[in-house]
Amino acid sequence: MTKVCIFGAGAVGGYLAAALSNTDAKVSLIARGEHKKVILEKGLTLIKDGASNSFKFFVTENTKDLEIQDYIFISIKAQSIPSIVESLIPIMNKNTTIISAVNGLPWWYFHKANTGTILDEKHIESVDLNGKIWSTINPERSLGCVVYPACEILEPGTIRINQGDRFSLGEPDGTKSERLDKIASLLIKGGLKAPKKKNLRDEIWVKLMGNCSFNPVSALTNKTLDEIGKDPDLINTIKLLMKECRQVGEKIGIKFNVSIEDRIEGAISIIGHKPSTTHDINSGKPLEIDPLIGSIIELGNKLNIQTPNLKKIYLKIKNKAEDLGLYERNQIIEKITE
């Protein structure tokens, strides 16, 4: 039996857990607070396509309550990963695979990337300060994942899936592997789409192109994607941000299979949707600023690529988050992104 731990039973983690519960995998959740309490007492409620279903899991706050895991999905905010990596040690062995189901550039990104730049086999400071994740987990354990579903926690213990069911997966070096086949098969058995990608980094950057632009613009204006699409000035800002993101990505070998215009059109065609950063700021949760924007600026600086518009939007959203107490000031990251 394949043992799978979902570290972070929020919207994405809960969706993964619910899907995997329909397979023969042994699924455990790491959760806390009221969310954990409700899941323990009543189960995890998943609302999808108007239907509501409840799922029971073993849930704990402490990884020491679990046995060694075959797969660990990390589905907390990317900036929080350094604070939890040491707690993963008791449930890992040399064969444990780590899948970071998070937004932005993942901590393992330049492992086996073969970009031919100074970035290869180096950690990204704005994602992994001082390389703590890299040195604790070891990127050899990592399996790539791009998360597409839009989902939210309605109340403790209840998750609603608004759209999407795809989790693209891939080895850092693009090869086929037994561990990739096994987890992809489990997700598919659970009712999800889990395509295995040879060039997963291309997908990471296409998604990032939207995250680094629409997310901060929406968070600063509290507008939905379609509302942004009706504002020419905001759309011009989006284009400038996407262009800089694309320039950095292309420098390290990314092939964008979608134009900026088509990427924008696809986003603004979604009616009534606000990105995760806007939901976080409205819910008083810490913002994913550095993984979504700061990481691109950091790479741009190292590759001598100018990113003035990304720096400008970064400063705006960071200042707003700091005013609301939703961003912890870090002088090292500030230096990287200045």
Pairing of strands 167-170, 142-147: antiparallel
Rg (CA), the chain: 19
For residue 44, the one-letter residue type is L
Give the pair of three-digit tokens for residue 23. 């397979």
Q: Which residues pair with 123 in a beta bridge?
A: none
* Residue positions counted in the chain: 338
Q: Are 126 and 333 in contact (CB under 8 A)?
A: yes
Q: Are 268 and 228 in contact (CB under 8 A)?
A: yes
Alpha helices of 97-231 — where are they, by DSSP H? 132-137, 178-189, 200-211, 214-221, 225-229
CA angle, corner 320, sides to 316 and 326, nearest 5? Answer: 130
Q: Are 97 and 143 in contact (CB under 8 A)?
A: yes
For residue 106, give Cα distances in angstroms to 95, 140, 205, 251.
20, 14, 11, 18
* Annotated catalytic residue within 207, 302, 316, 320: 207
The answer to whether residue 26 is catalytic is: no
Q: How far apart are CA 161 and CA 163, in angstroms?
A: 6
Name the residue with tokens 């073969």.
114
Give the pair of three-digit tokens for residue 316. 């705006």
Q: How far apart are CA 36 and CA 139, in angstroms?
A: 29
Q: Which residues pair with 29 in a beta bridge?
A: 6, 59
User: Cβ of 152: how many Cβ atoms within 10 Å?
Assistant: 17
Query: Any idea which residues carry the catalytic annotation?
Result: 207
